[in-house]
Structure 1
Amino acid sequence: MTGTRPRYTRIEQLTDALMVAAGVNTPPVPVDRIVQAQGIAIRATSLGDVSGLVVRKGKEVVIGVNKDHPLTRRRFTIAHELAHALLHHGEEVRYDRDFRVNLRSEASGLGVDIEEIEANFFAARLLMPRRFLEADPEAALVDMEDAQAVGRLAKRYGVSVHAMSIRLGTLAVRRG
């Protein structure tokens, strides 16, 4: 059950534990390996305009990711869906077989859905860990207006320029 406020401290602890367990000390974070270490399968398939989803059947959990999206988007989606798998129960949906799936709601894109806020924070924290960015000389000195510098960081971390820009901006706000 999700509360009315994002569980940032819980998510920080969880992503730290996943990184330690996987022995990750440098970017890019091997998100596929982290997911598989949790006993979760990843299936890449065409999903139309859907980026990803989590399907649960009993104890089996599968993350579906849109194979038609760029690699950086797929990596973020996998991390985002891992958050749903580990933190959220999902909604039961019945088709020909009984399984559970996390679906995007109309509120998902508005920044008010707590589960989506948590999943995005989890994905950003997992793929762009604060300790990596704080120890990265280029990240410490990056001018947010310098698209090439942000692009180099994004490439090193295996994320989109947009995701890196948001993460750097968020860290700057939290430092200040």
Structure 2
Amino acid sequence: MQTNPDYSASKKRASEILEEASIIQPPIITQKLCETYGIKVKFVIFTEDNISGMMDFKSNTIYVNDQEGYARNNFTIAHELGHYFLHKDYYLKHPNEYEILYRKPISSAQNSPIEKEANTFAAHLLVPKKFLDQYYEFASIQSLAKLFAVSEEVISYRLKNEYGF
């Protein structure tokens, strides 16, 4: 297992997916992306209430907490897509190492480099810099969150990551 996250690979793959899907403006609707790649999305009620989602690689199905809001679910699906595009082969060989996505702030991802990569993939997939550049100077965090269909926390993370504030 790797010890350091490869953030550049996560960002690059997110950008490639957006280009492959011909997405030219926000919001990025992750369920549509899933359809494009033959990935099923099922909304379920987990027995533990702090679980946001998980990916079943054998059936290409993402399970998402039905009791969370749209923005959170959009991020959860993007995060699980990150695992699919970045880590599928690894997890098929090591299924016992897969971690369920527990509800935590994006900036305090699990210690696992793989989880950090999936969070980076999700943040860059949902809020690509090329789109953020068009809006961030004149829109509020609340407006940006609505435009990109993500939480204010994700917008704040991306603003800090890209522009240092």
| Cα pair distance change 1:102/1:54, threshold 3 Å | farther
Asked if 1 retains the 8 angstrom alpha-carbon contact of 2:72 and 2:150, the reply is yes
1:140 to 137, 141, 145: 137
Match of 1:75 in 2: 74
Asked if 2 retains the 8 angstrom alpha-carbon contact of 1:133 and 1:140, the reply is no
Pair member with larger Rg: 1
Shift of 1:37: 1.4
Q: Mean alpha-carbon deviation: is it higher for 163-172 or for 110-119?
A: 110-119
Which protein, 1 or 2, shows the higher relative CO under an 8 Å CA cutoff with sep ≥ 6?
A: 2
**TM-score with structure 1 setting the length:** 0.79
Cα distance in 2 between the residues matched to 1:104 and 1:29: 20
Match of 1:17 in 2: 16
Match of 2:27 in 1: 28
Cα distance in 2 between the residues matched to 1:132 and 1:157: 9
| Cα pair distance change 1:160/1:120, threshold 3 Å | same
The answer on 1:49 being equivalent to 2:50 is: yes
| Cα pair distance change 1:166/1:44, threshold 3 Å | same
| Cα pair distance change 1:7/1:110, threshold 3 Å | closer
Q: Could you give the per-residue CA deviations for residues 13-67 of structure 1, whole angstroms, max 9, x where no partner exists? A: 211111111111111012111122122111111123210001122xx31100001
**Identity across matched positions, percent:** 29
2:147 to 156, 159, 164: 156
AA paired with 1:129?
P
AA paired with 1:164?
I
Q: Could you give the per-residue CA deviations for residues 80-115 of structure 1, whole angstroms, max 9, x where no partner exists? A: 01111222233425xxxxxx954359xx95552101
AA paired with 2:19?
V
Name the SS for the 2:38 alignment partner: coil
Asked if 2 retains the 8 angstrom alpha-carbon contact of 1:84 and 1:102, the reply is no
| Cα pair distance change 1:134/1:63, threshold 3 Å | same
AA paired with 2:43?
A
| Cα pair distance change 1:110/1:37, threshold 3 Å | closer
Aligned residues: 155
Match of 1:97 in 2: none
AA paired with 1:25?
I
Structure 2: gaps of 5 or more residues: none
